[in-house]
Structure formats: structure tokens, C-alpha cells
Amino acid sequence: MTTASPQRAALRAVRRPGDRIFSGTALGAGVVILLLLAAVAIFLITESLPAFTADPDEIGMLRGATFLEYVAPLVFGTLWAALLALIIAAPLAVGIALFISHFAPRRLAAVIGYVVDLLAALPSVVYGLWGATTFAPILQPFYVWLNENLGWIPLFEGPVSATGRTIATAALVLAVMILPIMTAICREVFLQAPRLHEEAALALGATRWEMIRMAVLPFARGGMVSAAMLALGRALGETMAVTMVLSASGVITFDLISSTNPTTIPANIALSFPEAYGEGVNVLIATGLILFIVTFAVNAIARYIVNRRAAFSGAN
């Protein structure tokens, strides 16, 4: 009888088969993610070790430089291109998302949303082809103009690239590529801004824009940072488009429009892999490990920024 069983057994919740199956699959899915991540990390670390331990002079790819000297321009180029792309895409994405969620008539909003989603469906090699063959020549005269009129700013110092295949073009192509995901996430977050708070702002005599600044944007802050981070992740890792667009020479420069451009880690791997042999392959994998760490750090910083004001996030 149940009355005879000890107190603790009586308090235990009934374990239904459905609950067990569900918690089992949920746990399994979670473990798989961790295992995958661990497997990738272990692969990267073990395969990179030879690059760190071997004598730099014996690895042809390094051309006598140390690994750090080799990877530093690449890290700079990766961060620089992704940052430029984010600076271009973020305001645009927020603007489009606001237009879709709060300004456009419903039908127009649906059409625009669909078109933006379509941008995400284009393969990156198509962006690469378009950027290298069409977009770069269009931009080239504009770069000349920038150099003539704003040449005193180090960003436009020149000498101007004759092909237009510069870091600025690459960043613009990247910006177009990360636009859909940022827009889609921002739109979803903006739509979730509580009607109640929007009405509170309007009832205080806020205009539409003031209402958005008061009730929508602060509420969506965390979501917007997440969107930017996902987009940044894509920009950091984007290979094909950058490889095809950029005429790279692996320098560290802030000049946006010159013919000598920094290159990114993924593009460098794609370009150098076919001719890599022996420990050169390990060097490339080691740059991949650095990219992994950089992406991880960027995400951690973003999380920290979002959590710092968690009490004001609107989630409570």
C-alpha cells in the first residue's frame, strides 16, 4: 500500500513514458551540440600544434616569418572587413525592419519581407561573381572621386585600385549578404515589442518615431545585438564572396580603396589550400583555430554587453 511506503517515495513525481522520451531526446540533442563543438575544437588544436612547434624556416608557406607575423594581418583583415560590413548593414537592417514592422502597409510589408528573405537564399558564389565582375567596376569611378575629394582622410588615401576589387567592395558585398539575417531577426524582435508599451508612449503624446525610440528600440536592444552578432559571425566566416571579390595582398592597412588590400582568414585558406603541403596545411588550420577563437570572443563580448543591463531588458 502507498501509506506503508516511506515519505520520500510518496513525494516523488510520477514519471510518465512521454516525459522520459522527451527529456531523453532533449538531453541527447544538447549533448550532441557539445560533442560536435568539442570535436571541432580538438581537431583544430591537434592539427594546429605542428604549426606552432615546427621551425618557421622549414615551412615554405610562412616565408621565413613566424606564425604570429603570418596570422596578424589576416586577423586584422578578417575583423576589418566584417566590421565594415556590419557598420554598413546594421543601420540599413534596422531601418528596413522598422519599416516592415511599424510603418509599411501590411501588404507592402509582406512583399518587402519576402524579397529580403530571398536575398538570404542566394549562394555566396553568386555574390562573389556579381561583386567581382559587376559591382567592382561600377564602384571604381566612385573610389576615384573619393580619393580626389576626401584623399586627406587616411581611409581614402589611395593609390586607387584600377579594378575596384578593394576591401570596401568586399565589405559592401558582405553587407548585402548579412542584411537578410539581421533584418529578419530585427523585424521579429520589433514585432514583439508589447503593444501596451507602444500605446503608453503614444498616450503620452509621442510621435511615431518617438514611440519607437521610447518603447520599441530599448525593448529590442538585446535582440538587435544578437542579430548583429549572428551577422558578424557570418561576415567573419564568409569565404567565397571575399575570395572572389578581393584582390588581396595580405597587408595591414586602413586604406579602403587601394590596390593593396588586407585579406581575411577564410579567403586566405581558400586561396592557399590548393598549393599547401606538409606543415603548410597545419599553418592554415591554425589560422582556422584563430578564427574560431576570434568569433568566440566576439560573441562573448556581445553577451556581456546584453547582460550588463539585464534588469532593464524588459524581459521581467
Partner 1 sequence: MSKRIQVNDLNVFYGKFKAVEGISMTIEPRSVTAFIGPSGCGKSTFLRTLNRMHEVIPGAYVEGEVLVDGDNLYGEGVDPVLVRRQVGMVFQRPNPFPTMSIRDNVLAGVKLNNTRMAKSDADALVEKSLQGANLWNEVKDRLNLPGSGLSGGQQQRLCIARAIAVSPEVILMDEPCSALDPISTLAIEDLIEDLKREYTIVIVTHNMQQASRVSDKTAFFNIAGTGKPGKLIEYADTTKIFSNPDVQATEDYVSGRFG
- Nearest approach in angstroms of CB 209 to partner 1 is 11
Phi, psi of 238 (to 5 degrees): -65, 130
Closest C-alpha to 122, from 163, 187, 169, 179: 179
CA 188/CA 195 separation, integer angstroms: 14
171 in Cβ contact with 81 (< 8 Å): yes
The footprint of partner 1 on residues 93-152 (CB under 8 A) is 106
Considering only 32-40, 67-75, 80-88, 193-201, which stretch makes contact with partner 1 by CB under 8 A?
193-201
Nearest to 276 by CA among 126, 111, 59: 59
What are phi and psi for residue 222, nearest 5 degrees? -60, -45
Residue identified by cell 584563430 is: 290
Member of 99, 157, 197, 276 binding partner 1 (CB under 8 A): 197
∠ CA 116-118-120, nearest 5°, is 85
Minimum gap (Å) between residue 115 Cβ and partner 1 = 22
Whether residue 91 is preceded by a cis peptide bond, meaning omega within 30 degrees of 0, is no
- Helix, strand, coil percentages (3-state) for the chain, rounded to 5, are 80, 0, 20
CB of 205 to partner 1, least distance (A): 3
Q: Which residues pair with 160 in a beta bridge?
A: 258
Rank residues 49 and 112 by Cβ distance to partner 1 and give the closer one.
112
Among 50, 151, 218, 280, binds partner 1 (CB under 8 A): 218
Q: Give me the least distance between CB of 216 and partner 1, in Å please.
A: 10
Cβ proximity to partner 1, 193 vs 281, nearer residue: 193
Q: Which of 244, 288, 297, 292 is nearest to 266 (CA)?
A: 288
In the complex with partner 1, the residue whose CB is nearer, 197 or 303, is: 197
- Selected from 200, 225, 230, 294, the binder of partner 1 by CB under 8 A is 200
Supply angle C-alpha 49, 36, 31, rounded to 5: 135
For the CB of residue 274, give the shortest distance to partner 1 in the complex, in Å: 52
Count interface residues toward partner 1 (CB under 8 A): 25
Residue placing its CB nearer to partner 1 in the complex, 260 or 313: 313
User: In the complex with partner 1, which residue's Cβ is closer, 17 or 105?
Assistant: 105
* Measured distance CA(194)–CA(201) in Å, rounded: 11
Interaction of residue 202 with partner 1, rule CB under 8 A = yes
Span interacting with partner 1, options 21-29, 164-172, 202-210, 260-268, rule CB under 8 A:
202-210
Is residue 204 near partner 1 by the rule CB under 8 A? yes
- Binding partner 1 (rule: CB under 8 A), the pick from 89, 215, 265, 290 is 215
**Number of neighbours of residue 23 by Cβ within 10 angstroms:** 11
Does residue 271 bind partner 1 (CB under 8 A)? no
Look-up: residue for cell 613566424? 66
Which of 131, 219, 246, 248 contacts partner 1 by CB under 8 A? 219
Task: Using CB under 8 A, list all residues that contact partner 1.
Answer: 106, 194, 196-197, 199-207, 210, 214-215, 218-219, 221, 311-316
